[in-house]
Amino acid sequence: MKKLLATLSIVFGLVSTPVSAAPSLIPTPPQLSASSYILMDAYTGDVLVSHNADEELPPASLTKLMTAYIIEYELARGNLSFSDQVSVSEKAWRMEGSRMFIREGTRVSLEDLMRGIIIQSGNDASVAAAEYVAGSESAFADLMNQHAQLLGMKNSHFVNATGFPAEGHYSSAHDLAKLSRATILQFPENYKMYAEKEFTYNNIKQPNRNKLLWRDKTVDGLKTGHTEEAGYCLAASAVRNGTRLITVVMGTKSDQARAAESQKLLDYGFRYYETRKLYSRGQVVNNAKVWGGSQSNVKVGFAEDVLVTIPRQQGDSLPATLDMMKEITAPIAVGDVLGKVIVGTEGNILLEQPVVALEAVEEGGFFKRMFDKIRLFFANLF
């Protein structure tokens, strides 16, 4: 194994110091007045705080995060366009609860429907969009469950596009955090819509119900929800100094409470944790020996940026080891896994990340392969 302390120190721009020199002192997370909640690092997916986070609960209008996600998914694949004109059915028009106030028989742009879903939490907009995408709300619900499975949402099941109370319709704080993370990372351009504070349609101006958008300038999403059964819920996200956090709070007692409890989690997370970039995509960390190849070495590095969530009091250097395959033989394709980097100490591993071939290496000629086989044979004897 090869120590990579120097590599990490270069990434941080600091001189290597023992990690034990600066112990991490983190207080107990705040206890919230909510039935379920979670705090997640959006970039790494690490869960920093959780309470009943996998409990299956009625998600109310947090359901619309999935409705919007599917629309964004179809937009990204060119199957839909924001300029599409959507016919409003009687079912959509008759929806009760929070509404965008679209009218039966009219046509509404998909872009306006998206704002109606995200900003105004319109049940009418959600049904109209669902019918347009899948033909019916029930078919759209089936699509929602397929996406939930792909996203690893193990404690969710949807039967409608709105979050209207229904038997068998549930999700969890953890699952909704995963969904929020996918929305933020996969569709950054569309995500800007979640920060808009108001939307006017049919001469009716409605504010975004996420009070944190006014109270905390670092907050830029995501969605509120409320039914009598679910209580007051909020999925929120904020970014400060390169760290983005996601909170989901479910089952609070009021609109004020869901905002205040979410703020407690965000402030705790940003005060005591940060996201650090350890390596960049394509960064070379090793020139590994290749046997039987057209060249004798292969550049080894990372397929994607490598990020880690660490306590802010963590030392400025982190110990890391590079564990390479004992024998690397050609042919090698770009992206082939050739080993892994382990970041942290034996009792506190922060991250394990595969390292891959950054270039292809073809097989060498007959004599090169035979010569390397002989060398490898004798090398294994000692």
Ligand-binding site membership of 223 (annotated): yes
Letter for the amino acid at 362?
A: E
71: enclosing H helix or E strand: helix 64-76
* Spatial contact of 101 and 74, defined as CB atoms under 8 Å apart: no
Residue-wise pLDDT tens digits, 212-226: 999 999 999 999 999
Q: Which long-range contacts (CB under 8 A, 24 or more apart) does 337-344 make?
A: 338/288, 338/298, 338/300, 339/286, 339/288, 339/300, 341/4, 341/279, 341/285, 341/306, 343/8, 343/278, 343/308, 343/318, 343/319, 344/318, 344/319, 344/320
Q: Is the pLDDT of residue 60 over 70?
A: yes
**Of the candidates 130, 129, 95, 137, the residue with the CA atom closest to the CA atom of residue 112:** 129
pLDDT at 367: 63
Q: Which pLDDT belongs to residue 374?
A: 64
Taking the CA atoms of 214, 162, 185 and 135 in sequence, report the sign of the dihedral they define.
Answer: negative
- Give the model's confidence band at 8: pLDDT under 50 very low, under 70 low, under 90 confident, else very high: very low
Q: Which two tokens stand for residue 358?
A: 């950054």
Backbone angle region of 335, left / alpha / beta, with phi > 0 → left and psi within -120 to 50 → alpha: left
Q: What is the pLDDT of residue 18?
A: 34
Q: Which pLDDT does position 346 carry in this prediction?
A: 76
Mean pLDDT value across residues 46-67: 97
Domain ranges across the chain: 34-275, 280-380
Q: What percent of the chain has pLDDT over 70?
A: 88
Q: Known catalytic residue: 294?
A: no
Q: How large is the average pLDDT for residues 3-24?
A: 37
Closest Cα to residue 278, out of 224, 220, 317?
317
Please, what is the average pLDDT of the chain? 89
Kindly state the DSSP code that residue 27 receives in the 8-state scheme: P
Q: Exposed/middle/buried for 265, CB within 10 Å: 0-12, 13-18, 19+? A: buried
119-136: average pLDDT? 97
**Residue 3 — very low, low, confident or very high, per pLDDT cuts 50/70/90?**
very low
Worst-scoring range by mean pLDDT, 145-149, 155-159, 282-286? 282-286
**Annotated catalytic, 61?**
yes
Architecture of domain 280-380: Sandwich (2.60)
- With a cut of 50, say whether residue 243 has pLDDT above it: yes
* Residue range 73-106, pLDDT digits in tens: 999 999 999 999 999 999 999 999 999 999 999 9
Span 301-319, pLDDT tens digits: 999 999 989 888 765 667 8
pLDDT greater than 60 at residue 17:
no
Can 16 be counted among the known catalytic residues?
Answer: no
* Model pLDDT, residue 160: 98
Class of domain 34-275 (CATH, top level):
alpha beta
So what's the pLDDT on residue 15?
26
pLDDT exceeds cutoff 70 at 19? no
Distances (CA, A) of 177 to 36, 211, 379: 12, 19, 51
207's enclosing H/E stretch is strand 204-207
Catalytic residue among 121, 180, 262, 317: 121
